[in-house]
Structure 1
Amino acid sequence: MATNRKLVRVYTPNDEPGFLGPDHKARHIVRGDFKQTDPFILLMDDMLDKKDEEPVGGEHPHAGFETVSLLLEGQMGDTKHKMKGGDFQIMTAGSGIVHTETIDRIARMRLLQLWLNLPKKDRWTTPRVQDLSLANTPKLSENGVSITLYSGTLAGLTSPIQNFVPLIVADIALEPSATTVLDIPVDYNAFLYVLYGNAKVGEDEQLLSQDQVGWLNISGEEGSSELKMMAGKDGIRFILYAGQPTGDTIAARGPFIGDNADDLARLYQEYRQGKMGHIANVPEGQRILL
């Protein structure tokens, strides 16, 4: 018998100044101790409304984790691949990689970027990048419920994305008063981020509204669980993130994740010595277009 899931932690992130200047605001979606959020390290909702052509951003490194990017609006990317609204990317930084995010034009953009832990055994894996276009993303629309599945398996859909950590990422919309039951593995840590509207969530029908983050209860058991939802009068659109915890402890500093402080010191040294290649120059086998 499936376990019924419910909301156990709800909060509304504040808009904060972003690092790209006055036209950039950001929300810190995932917060708290990693033991509580595992396998999710952080998630930022970056909103940019750039009104000039002054370059912002630039080159920077990553190592020890994966960046999971869902572009809600706008365009971004490097010389090898441009992401458009609705596109998805997982960049496995692994042993260490450099990438460039420079914006030198008038632009409006909204990006959800997650930092996802790599399991200890895979932390220093060979870097790679997977790009999944909106056109090739599995979709379902029935009974007032629409699901776009970027990663994992949900509602009979399966994404072509390859995962080190079992991960579900889905953009889900319910029409006004529509209901659904989402089947999520019971041992996955999971949360919802509401883009608009509201819904009653879980068996206790707790209200979750626009801009709120709602974390679900989690069990250490195996098997499936059910999350019941009923949309409000305006409907709801939210992003579901659900992942299997790694059970690891991590050390974090700047753009790097490691097992301990020695890892972080080594990574900074390798970056300063120019030992990390640029993601735009990885061999074709490490650049996967889906």
Structure 2
Amino acid sequence: MRETKDTKDIITMSERQVVKKIYANFENDGGAGNVIRQGITKTNHELLDPFVSLAELSFSPPGGFRDHPHRGFESVTYMLQGGLIHQDCNGHRGTIQEGDVQWTTAGRGLIHSEMPQEEANSLIQLWINLPSSQKMIWPKNREIPNSYIRRAWDNGVEVKIIAGESMGVKSPCYTETPIMFLDVTVDPSAQTNQTIPESWTAFAYVLEGDEGVFSSSDSSTVEAHNVVVFGRGDQVSVENTSSSRPLRFLLIAGEPIGEPVFQHGPFVMNSQADIDMTIDDYRNAKNGFEMAKSWRSQ
């Protein structure tokens, strides 16, 4: 409705409903000392475009993830506890600790290691697909300290804005594929509403609490380690029905790419031919993997 002398714009928000819940089961340990909960797998690629993988990982020495390659996507590593020492074949080395983020664009090819700093370490890692036009861009790494991440508060709700916008506060982080990545804590008996572009894919991952309600039309609660997938709409509503425990969840959304997804381990491409080419490039140390035969992490 157009605003006139006698009327004002009326904005009607359509609430997103829960269309699926996915429990993040334990998978193979990935090596001694690693515990992996996989929330998004290959079976969810079409439903959750542009997101390829979501994993909650706990690890301790001698565990970790030694030298391994990637191509065709971005990864967001969000430390929940402890620290992670990372190195890559382009000379980047650093450590992220609790509350910090490492944003890695694998692009055409990257070889790196991710090793524990403390005795107890845990993190969330999200893989975001890249469109075919960007899969062979040059790789890059960015560390975002916890102190640099912007926050917003309102009526018993705290939001860390890793990417996107909430409560009028914007993250300064640029992402190749447009996404929102929020760490939300809702006090007991509090509730919140978050606007999300209507065409974007959206889901939540519950970190703590077991009495979160993720839609005003659904009274069922969701426990920790569940992915809550939302349908279309431009708003997500969440209520913490607990009278004593806070609810903490990640709210993640992104613009769908709408292209075929072929994932083979650490490679995310558009076709089996692309995967075959990537494997050949890695084995023969070319087209982004030139350091494959000579580089070793320290």
TM-score, length-normalised on structure 1?
A: 0.87
Considering only aligned residues, what root-mean-square deviation do their CA atoms show, in Å? 1.9
Q: 1:106 to 1:226 in 2, by over 3 A?
A: closer
Aligned to 2:49: 38
Alignment counterpart, residue 238 of structure 1, candidates 249, 270, 273: 249
Q: 1:140 to 1:248 in 2, by over 3 A?
A: same
Aligned to 1:215: 229
Which has the larger Rg?
2
- The 1-side partners of 2:23 and 2:63 are apart by 31
Matches within 5 A, 1:258-277: 258-275=269-286, 276=289
Alignment counterpart, residue 254 of structure 1, candidates 256, 265, 271: 265
Aligned to 1:82: 95
Matches within 5 A, 1:93-242: 93-103=106-116, 107-197=119-209, 198-206=211-219, 207-218=221-232, 225-232=234-241, 233=243, 234-242=245-253
Matched-pair contact (CA < 8 Å) for 1:180–1:229 = yes
Aligned to 1:58: 66
More strand by share: 1
Structure 1: stretches of 5+ with no match in the other structure: 220-224, 280-290
- The 2-side partners of 1:255 and 1:95 are apart by 12
> What's the secondary structure of 1:164's corresponding residue?
coil
Aligned to 1:8: 19
> What's the secondary structure of 1:107's corresponding residue?
coil
Q: 1:177 to 1:94 in 2, by over 3 A?
A: same
Q: 1:16 to 1:252 in 2, by over 3 A?
A: closer
Cα drift, residue 17 of structure 1:
3.5
Task: Give the fraction of aligned pairs with identical amino acids, expressed as a percent.
Answer: 26
- The 2-side partners of 1:86 and 1:184 are apart by 24
Q: 1:266 to 1:11 in 2, by over 3 A?
A: closer
User: After the TM superposition, which parts of structure 1 deviate over 6 Å for at least 4 consecutive aligned residues?
Assistant: none
Which amino acid is the alignment partner of residue 214 of structure 2? V
- The 1-side partners of 2:71 and 2:125 are apart by 15
Cα drift, residue 12 of structure 1:
2.1
Number of aligned positions between the proteins: 269
Q: Which deviates more, 79-88 or 174-183?
A: 79-88
Which amino acid is the alignment partner of residue 218 of structure 1? R
Matched-pair contact (CA < 8 Å) for 1:27–1:44 = yes
- The 2-side partners of 1:106 and 1:136 are apart by 23
Cα drift, residue 55 of structure 1:
6.2
